[in-house]
Chains A and B, each alone.
Chain A
Amino acid sequence: MSAAKMQLAEIRFKVNGVERSVSVPPMKRLLDVLREDLELTGAKEGCGEGECGSCSVLLDGVLVNSCLVPVLQVCGCEVLTVEGLAANGALAHLQKTFLELGGTQCGICTPGMMLAAEALLRKNTHPKLDEIREGLAGNLCRCTGYMRIIDAVWHAAHAPLLAEEQAEIDAVRK
């Protein structure tokens, strides 16, 4: 197909609560639209074949590998990326536990890990250890050995926020 005949699709969808519109080839991967067209570089490309989870985002609340979603299929949907987890720059509880418990090292897997954890915790507020392991099984990490990540998710689910942490978050969100 010549460039002149190239078909672009007008795609409207919500990203992190904001209406966005892009004019792109309909088979463009959601991951590339996020990173290149919307400049949201939180989602990473690792394997590009749905095995590493570093491009994980929530699509209408459902965990997906954004490298495997053609953007046409996102029309009218709502996407949550790691940039949307920290409202107004205030870290979510889950992000704090990742930081405090060493769940983040080089950072490549972190956005995907957090979205996988977010998807799990939305469905299951008090997951058991094996449920956390299954929820994160599609996300690879080469630094932490996983234990610290699993600890972070467990704490996010089971340990309440300290009062001062909540106050700090509330203050930033105002």
Chain B
Amino acid sequence: MRSNVSEYELVAPGSLSAVLMLLAAEPGVWTPIAGGTELMVALGAGRLAQRKLVSLWGIDELRRITESGDWLSIGAGATFTDIRQDAVVAKEFPLLARAASWTGAIANQNRGTLGGNIVNASPAADSPPVLLVYEAEIELVSAQGARRMPYSEFHLGYKRTVMKPQELVKAVHLPRSRRLPVEYLRKVGTRNALAISKVALACTGAMQSGKVIAVRIAAASLRETPARLSATEAALQGHTLTVERIQAARAALLQEVKPIDDIRSTANYRAHVAANLLEEFLEQMAACEG
């Protein structure tokens, strides 16, 4: 059933500080809305519970992509189109540009924002696994001030995050010096455009003298939050990529993932395809000179 739009309020204070003041004045009352690619779907389907919304669209200070020393900072309001078109992202964080390119289709990318993708906290979202392997930090802001933490600490559980009601995501910061030479990203969905992933894996790594000297693996749709697969990483760290070692890594992955059956796929399919994606990444690692 369609919602009755006259029951909803939407205000557009126009600046970050004015939005933060509103959120601080009535914590939990106002729900931020940026490009609307999530909340407007709920509105159209008659299941948008939040009745008072505050627009973040058009606030330029949230949309900037800036370089500062070791960090590339992407404003939470940057759209997937902004991210795809940014030359530094394309050059230094290509997995993020690729994830942006298969988030929805062009019209969704023109409106959907990185901050929205993160805050919506879907375990299937496209950008989080990439942010995890790039070891991104996330900056939250409220009228009381800002705080910054590793993005890996942001998600607490299914659709639960560390955010307080009066906080907004201000930016995501990507460390430019912590990149690893081998990069891998694959999303498995029903089609290229507009597909929500059945499973996705983002990986980066480095080899030296035939051994894995660094490896980061993050997954979508394999746990209740986007997550690093630390047991799988540990099974690989310091090892030569023999057939037995790859089998051990597959086993570690199957042990630590907790996929579910839902409308898009089955737990069994997700787990085994994830192990195959891992193996594809490890073939890429093994072929890398180091």
Chain A residues closer than 8 Å to B41, beta-carbon distance: 48-50, 68
Select which of A6, A9, A48, A119 is within 8 A of B106 by beta carbon: A119
Q: Digitize A59-85: 1 where CB-to-B-CB distance is under 8 Å, 0 elsewhere.
A: 000111101111011010000000000
The answer to the question of B111 belonging to the interface, with a C-beta cut-off of 8 Å to chain A, is: yes
Count of residues in B whose CB is under 8 Å from the partner chain: 33
The answer to the question of A87 belonging to the interface, with a C-beta cut-off of 8 Å to chain B, is: no
Select which of A7, A62, A73, A119 is within 8 A of B36 by beta carbon: A73
The answer to the question of B251 belonging to the interface, with a C-beta cut-off of 8 Å to chain A, is: no
Distance of A62 Cα from B81 Cα, bound (Å) = 10
A1-41, CB < 8 A from B: 1, 3, 6-7, 9, 25-29, 32
The answer to the question of B284 belonging to the interface, with a C-beta cut-off of 8 Å to chain A, is: no
Chain B residues closer than 8 Å to A53, beta-carbon distance: 105, 107
A38 CB to closest chain B CB (Å) equals: 16
With A27-B53, A50-B107, A69-B111 as given contacts, are A137 and B44 in contact (CB-CB < 8 Å)? no
The answer to the question of B104 belonging to the interface, with a C-beta cut-off of 8 Å to chain A, is: yes
The listed residue with most A CB atoms (<10 A of its CB), out of B40, B43, B194, is: B40
Distance of A119 Cα from B7 Cα, bound (Å) = 34
9 examples of A-B residue contacts, CB within 8 angstroms: A1-B6, A29-B40, A62-B110, A68-B35, A68-B36, A70-B55, A72-B12, A73-B58, A119-B106
Residues of A within 8 A of B (CB): 1, 3, 6-7, 9, 25-29, 32, 48-51, 53, 56, 62-65, 67-70, 72-73, 75, 116, 119-120, 134-135, 137-139
